[in-house]
Amino acid sequence: MPYIALNECDVEVTSFQCLDEFKREGTEYQSFRCAFCEVPYIAKAIYNETSVAKAPHFAVARGRSHIGDCNGEVLLVVAPVEGGGIGAKVVKREHEVPEVLVVKPPTRSVVSGPKGGPATPLSEAEIKRRRMNAGKKYGVSRFTSSLLASFIEAKAHLVSAAFAKAKEQGLTGAKEKAFLNSYLEKYPLQLFEQKLNYSTAFWRANYVRAGQAPRIFQATNGNVMISAQNLTINSAFLQRSTAKSPSTVEATATALETNGKKITVGATAVVLFDLSGVDRAELPRAHKSLLKKLAETQAADRTVSWSAYGVMTVRDGLNCIELLSLDHLHIKT
């Protein structure tokens, strides 16, 4: 599935980066061509398809085809091997969800004027040279995103697919929960260098996890306080009723303790972001809309559920997650 293309300005782009730029900035390129043989492409699952289960990619425009042996994919110098890392074999899964949280790519400088393809057809030798160069540069690239929102949407999609399957199989209670976990574990999720999956990458923010590696922390019942200087979201721990059956909170706590990890239940979780020095007029579209939504929530005195990527530190008995970027916060009102 081709994921590398040239845009109308002759700039090499990947479908993953195009999706990120569209979500963050609203940037929409007008046309794409194969990065190797320059046949016209159309964008798939980037601008006009909302399915979170489909990886963004390119496809040959109707009635056209690649030149010679070109199929829009890179040529690998080293054969793909099992087991992860560069050159790892890409495992085909039922849902094509984002797999790697990466640093935001640098903002592109737009080259002037549309160019739109070579004057004469490219030679097969030139096409091969380009594909081999791209193979060295990208390897077997996996679906990446620099926006936490992409992973939260994908997880919600996987959870609902898993619940539907569990229902089909008549699973309930502990069996349903075990099925959900094993389903999520099949989907890798790499947080920068950390190789995790859609189950292990997420932690509840109300448990103390100080001094541990960064994760995607989550909590509900968040009270938003936003000023010119700071953004703070406070989530007090809510004790669930255990009168009838053990709550999911207690079940998780027991499981974690048996794994020998020391945890404390019941701390208030806090997301912090320093807004001083942030020029709000210069913020990308996605950040402006996030801050607007947070301000509206505060004004209406409503609460939010949130997900935040970062390291937890404990200060004055509070579980604090300090954000390095607004790309790493997702809220649900």
In the complex, which residues of this chain contact Zn ion (CB under 5 A)? 34, 36-37, 66, 70, 72
What secondary structure letter does DSSP report for 88? Answer: B
- Min separation Cβ 314 and Zn ion, Å: 54
Which residues are within 8 A (CB) of 327 and not within 5 positions of it... i.e. 6 or more apart? 24, 104, 146, 147, 148, 286, 287
How many angstroms from the chain centroid is the CA of residue 97? 8
In angstroms, give the least distance from the CB of 47 to Zn ion.
Answer: 21
Q: In the bound complex, what is the minimum distance in angstroms from residue 205's beta carbon to Zn ion?
A: 46
CB nearer to Zn ion: pick between 73 and 96 = 73
* Distances 75 to 2, 32, 89, 100, 319 between C-alpha atoms, Å: 12, 20, 14, 22, 47
Distances in Å between the Cα of 235 and the Cα atoms of 51, 205, 231, 305 are 31, 9, 13, 9
Identity of the residue, 65 or 212, whose beta carbon is nearer to Zn ion in the bound complex: 65
Is the CB of 58 or the CB of 207 nearer to Zn ion?
58
Q: Which is nearer to Zn ion, 70 or 74 (CB)?
A: 70
In terms of Cβ atoms closer than 10 Å to its own Cβ (0-12, 13-18, 19+), residue 42 is middle
**Nearer residue to Zn ion within complex by CB, 43 or 304:** 43
CB of 32 to Zn ion, least distance (A): 11
CB of 34 to Zn ion, least distance (A): 3
